Amino acid sequence: MTMTARKSLQKPFADLAAHVDALDWPQITAELDSQGCAVLKNLLTPEQCRAVAALYPDDAHFRSRIVMGRHGFGRGEYKYFSYPLPDLIAQLRPALYGHLQAVANRWNEAMGIEIRYPTAHAAFLKRCHEAGQARPTPLLLQYEAGDYNCLHQDLYGEHVFPLQVAILLSEPGRDFTGGEFVLTEQRPRMQSRAEVVPLMQGDAVAFAVHHRPVQGTRGTYRVNLRHGVSRIRSGQRHTLGVIFHDAK
Ligand SMILES: O=C(O)CCC(=O)C(=O)O
Ligand SMILES: [Fe+2]
């Protein structure tokens, strides 16, 4: 790791939670409600992006490595962080959850799902851990030219937080080309709708993990979402995935 990378990871991130709190949450919430996804512009600085991406080769930070081609997940690889998470991720995860839980609770109410999420991430993690979902799910993904991530849902057990966040750590056009973040939405008895989410380095996308409510003429119904990444045409692309439930 370079000196700059080390320094910006060690710096206390008290300001990161404040930065998350200062995002335009009414706007983000409105987009999540209408589209099932929302962009969080400049969530991380380019330095923070480089510092996180630079962790990839250092296995001391991770509990496992997945080669996507071996599982039919696509092509490319990712690693799940181990606990304790690096400071930046340890601070980002509860800060984002604190805002997203309100959306999650409203969505469940609209979909007639009885589960409610506590206001603090620590309380939700306790619920996961007590049910045997104790392994950390934040992950770092690495794609090279020709790689892609098949449409999927990040479900890791009975307990599911219905929203997740992915942060683009690389700069499109400079570090890689292609590699678009894609969401599809399947409505009951209808064909699927695709959405390509334009992201710059440091931007994040918040999106529904598997279901979201859509207001129809005859009430609210549930749509089924999947996400993935189109083929990387050139270069290298890194993403930080923040999933709020832990895994079995
Ligand atoms: O690389 C991406 O943009 C998507 C990563 C992903 O599937 C995730 O964060 O769950
Ligand atoms: Fe994913």
- Rounded to an integer, what distance in angstroms lies between the CA atom of residue 56 and that of residue 117? 32
C-alpha 179 to ligand 2 mean position (Å): 14
Three-state secondary structure call for residue 185:
strand
The answer on pLDDT for 51 being more than 90 is: yes
C-alpha 189 to ligand 2 mean position (Å): 25
Would you state the structure tokens that stand for residue 102, as one six-digit string? 């309100």
Instruction: Tell me what the mean pLDDT of segment 228-242 comes to.
Output: 98
Residues 105-150: pLDDT tens digits?
A: 999 999 999 999 999 999 999 999 999 999 999 999 999 999 999 9
Our CA angle for 136, 18, 52, nearest 5°, is 45
Ligand with an atom nearest the CA of residue 76: 1
Strand 211-216 relative to strand 139-144, pairing: unpaired
Between 14 and 234, whose confidence is greater?
234
Instruction: Tell me what the mean pLDDT of segment 173-183 comes to.
Output: 98
Which residue is closest in CA terms to ligand 1's atom 1?
239
The confidence score (pLDDT) of residue 89 equals 98
- Domains in the chain, CATH or no CATH each: 14-242 (2.60.120.620)
Helix axes 25-35, 87-111, angle to 10 degrees: 50
Which residue is closest in CA terms to ligand 1's atom 6?
241
Peptide bond into 84 cis (omega under 30): yes
Which residue is closest in CA terms to ligand 1's atom 10?
241
Ligand with an atom nearest the CA of residue 243: 1
The answer on pLDDT for 7 being more than 80 is: no
Contacts with 69 (C-beta within 8 Å, 6 or more apart), sequence order = 75, 76
pTM here? 0.94
DSSP state of 215: E
Outline where 112-234 has alpha helix (H): 121-130
